[in-house]
Amino acid sequence: MTRTLAEAAAEAAGCTRCRLAQTRTQVVFGVGNPDADLLFVGEAPGMHEDRQGEPFVGAAGQLLTRMLGEIGLQRADVYIANVLRCRPPGNRDPLPDEIEACTPWLVETISLIQPILIVTLGNFATKFVLETPRGITSMRGSVYDWHGRAVIPTFHPAAILHGGGEKSRQFQELRDDFGLISQTLARRAGNGAPPPPQAAAPAQPPPAHPGPHLAPGLAPDLGPPPADQLELF
């Protein structure tokens, strides 16, 4: 029998699959609605998240919450998680073996939530989920088919804050992407089940995910990407 997301999170709380177990304050598994249609995937917890045990609670998280509000959603309506569930010390880049060790948690998260739409926040999560070398600037603004689900990549909110802020072109593009998120959700949620692959309009062929233990209908695998993918735009 499949376990619940809360049961998975309870097991993850004691995870020692990689070295980050020694330096984290706590595992930051995820937050929100376990039946959400919309799943956000960021990179890894930062200092605030590590302390509070919740993803996206710092300044970047406040911007994410604001953008959600602009499309009529609250954090409790969606699910928010990261590729890595533990903070890398000093917010350094995730290492390949950490990504590999943590991937089963993301796979199980997607498998249990079965979101209609996954939004990848920033270069790291986008390259990881869509297995693409392309940067976020060229990937954003489109809906990609991913094993019958939709993926919309957008800027990491921290990149907006470190870039030009509200006056920047990227901020307007982030806002546009949230408009696309809202439209895509409305279109797909109305249909119940995720549409067939040809309903999406990928800017490139969907990635082939070989993979370990995935539930039916999900990508069978999320192979670890190189860890050197953290440029902001």
Which of these segments, 9-17, 41-49, 166-174, 223-231, binds ligand URA (CB under 6 A)? Answer: 41-49
Q: Which residue is nearest to ligand URA (CB)?
A: 42
Member of 44, 116, 117, 139 binding ligand URA (CB under 6 A): 44
Tell me the C-alpha distance between 54 and 75, whole Å. Answer: 11
46 binds ligand URA (CB under 6 A): yes
Question: Nearer to ligand URA by C-beta: 42 or 225?
Answer: 42
Member of 33, 36, 39, 56 binding ligand URA (CB under 6 A): 56
Member of 37, 43, 98, 177 binding ligand URA (CB under 6 A): 43
Question: Nearer to ligand URA by C-beta: 82 or 154?
Answer: 82
60 binds ligand URA (CB under 6 A): yes
Tell me the C-alpha distance between 111 and 121, whole Å. Answer: 19
98 binds ligand URA (CB under 6 A): no
CB of 83 to ligand URA, least distance (A): 8
Question: Nearer to ligand URA by C-beta: 161 or 215?
Answer: 161
145 binds ligand URA (CB under 6 A): no
Q: Torsion-angle region of residue 96: left (phi > 0), alpha (psi -120 to 50) or beta?
A: alpha
9 binds ligand URA (CB under 6 A): no
Count the site residues for ligand URA by CB under 6 A: 11
Which of these segments, 54-62, 92-100, 134-142, 184-192, binds ligand URA (CB under 6 A)? Answer: 54-62
Which residues, including other chains, have CB under 8 Å from residue 88's CB and lie 6 or more apart?
20, 44, 94, 95, 98
**Residue 136 · residue 122 · CB < 8 Å:** yes
Question: Nearer to ligand URA by C-beta: 64 or 200?
Answer: 64
CB of 126 to ligand URA, least distance (A): 12
128 binds ligand URA (CB under 6 A): no
Could you tell me the two tokens for 172? 């307007």
Question: Nearer to ligand URA by C-beta: 106 or 200?
Answer: 106
Chain contacts with ligand URA (rule: CB under 6 A)? 42-46, 49, 55-56, 60, 82, 158
